[in-house]
């Protein structure tokens, strides 16, 4: 990899993140807060103790898998904005399997429950994907509608037919055989979901970079006309990337139910599926950069409460940072062209 290629991959994402935090700092100054105190409290809340680090990792896990789901579709040239709804329905599928399937030993019950979540997420992605591939329906509109339907359907299910005995709108607790085993119990609980994310990232990388199918999927995303001309079935890869992304999102929801909460309740996801979108885009589909970006977003969520308590800055500033990052992602061509002009001259130079 030459100097220019390395700059293309590494420097723009770093600049985007720094710019987002910089603009958010200016906003805090304008409204009368000290951004240095705020960011110090945020950092301490995210990484200042063993408990904080494990909390950050736990919050980063569903975000990272959601980013994989978005990245898979992005490599095929489509935008899967429906990951949040797929995550919600995947969580429901896992909860049902974890509660009502009986008589299975722990490893098998966990596997069946996660597969149920993956299947539910994939099925929720199937209808908008088919409408897009077969009929040319606007994918963004239909996916957003499915997100809303998933949220409303979850509310109905946990208030109505699947409500458990708790006062809050939630299902019953899953069986102990469906719970993800813990790697660490103190100072906070960390389950086998953490290494599972690493395994998924390696599989994602291997598929994209080392298989014929992955090469063809990327070819569809880079130049669909040329891909069709050489005999690649574009529609098959578009459908695979969207439904496969839905299955990944379903696994993300499964981990929340099987690993953290052991039941499903209304509003269990604070928007993990949406968090995965900017991470996948800024990483350009690189799974290892997505892992790092997910730790950043997990840290933002884990540290926001401490920032509000210690610095008085509302935790919603985290949403502002994420929103700024999305805006800057849309402008990343300007970042790249500006970096090239500064480092390599107007003609780009040679690495």
> Does 177 fall in a domain?
yes
Give the pLDDT score at 224: 92
Radius of gyration of the chain (CA): 21
- Count of CB atoms within 10 A of residue 262's CB? 19
Asked if the structure places residue 278 within a domain, the reply is yes
Amino acid 272: pLDDT: 93
Least confidently predicted of 215-219, 292-296, 318-322, 347-351: 347-351
Question: How many domains, the chain?
Answer: 1
CA distance 265 to 319: 23
pLDDT of residue 140: 92
**How many degrees, rounded to 5, is the angle at CA 322 between CA 17 and CA 191?**
95
For the chain, give percent helix, strand, coil, nearest 5: 75, 0, 20
What pLDDT is attached to residue 351? 38
Range 124-134 average pLDDT? 95
Q: Range with the lowest mean pLDDT among 36-50, 160-174, 184-198, 315-329?
A: 315-329
- pTM, two decimals, is 0.89
Query: Is 195 part of a structural domain of the chain?
Result: yes
User: Looking at the predicted structure, is the pLDDT value of residue 161 above 80?
Assistant: yes
CA 30, CA 24: separation in Å to the nearest integer? Answer: 10
Domain contains 204: yes
d(CA 91, CA 96) in angstroms, rounded, equals 9
- Domain that includes residue 159, residue range: 52-283
Inside any domain, residue 324: no
- Quick check: is 187 in a domain? yes
How does the average pLDDT of the chain come out, rounded?
89
pLDDT at 335 over 70: no
Is residue 100 one of the residues assigned to a domain? yes
Please, which pLDDT band fits residue 343 given cuts at 50, 70 and 90?
Answer: low
Instruction: Give a yes or no: residue 299 inside a domain.
Output: no
Residue pair 66/254 in contact (Cβ under 8 Å)? The answer is no
Burial 289-303 (b: 16+ CB within 10 A, else e): bbbebbbbbbbbbbb
């Amino acid at each position: 990899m030459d100097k220019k290629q390395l700059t293309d991959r590494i420097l723009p994402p770093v600049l985007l993140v720094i710019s987002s935090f910089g603009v958010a700092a200016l906003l805090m100054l304008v409204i009368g807060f000290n951004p240095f105190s705020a960011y110090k409290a945020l950092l301490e809340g995210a990484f200042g103790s063993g408990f904080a680090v494990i909390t950050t990792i736990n919050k980063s896990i569903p975000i990272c898998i959601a980013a994989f789901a978005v990245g898979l579709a992005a490599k095929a040239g489509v935008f899967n904005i429906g990951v949040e709804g797929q995550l919600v329905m995947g969580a429901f599928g896992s909860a049902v399997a974890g509660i009502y399937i009986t008589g299975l030993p722990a490893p098998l019950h966990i596997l069946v429950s996660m597969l149920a979540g993956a299947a539910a997420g994939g099925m929720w992605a199937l209808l908008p994907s088919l409408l897009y591939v077969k009929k040319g329906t606007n994918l963004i509109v239909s996916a957003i509608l499915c997100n809303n339907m998933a949220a409303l359907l979850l509310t109905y299910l946990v208030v109505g037919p699947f409500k458990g005995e708790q006062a809050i709108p939630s299902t019953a607790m899953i069986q102990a055989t469906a719970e993800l085993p813990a790697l660490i119990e103190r100072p906070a609980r960390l389950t086998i979901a953490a290494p599972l994310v690493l395994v998924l990232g390696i599989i994602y990388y291997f598929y994209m970079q080392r298989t014929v199918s992955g090469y063809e999927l990327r070819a569809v995303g880079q130049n669909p006309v040329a891909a069709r001309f050489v005999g690649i079935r574009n529609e098959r890869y578009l459908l695979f990337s969207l439904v496969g992304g839905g299955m990944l999102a379903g696994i993300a929801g499964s981990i929340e139910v099987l690993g953290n909460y052991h039941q499903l309740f209304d509003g269990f996801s604070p928007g993990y599926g949406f968090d995965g979108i900017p991470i996948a885009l800024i990483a350009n589909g690189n799974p290892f950069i997505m892992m790092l970006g997910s730790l950043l977003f997990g840290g933002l969520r884990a540290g926001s409460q401490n920032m509000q308590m210690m610095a008085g800055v509302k935790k919603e500033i985290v949403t502002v940072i994420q929103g700024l990052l999305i805006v800057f992602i849309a402008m990343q061509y300007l970042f790249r062209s500006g970096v090239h002009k500064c480092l390599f001259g107007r003609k780009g130079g040679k690495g």
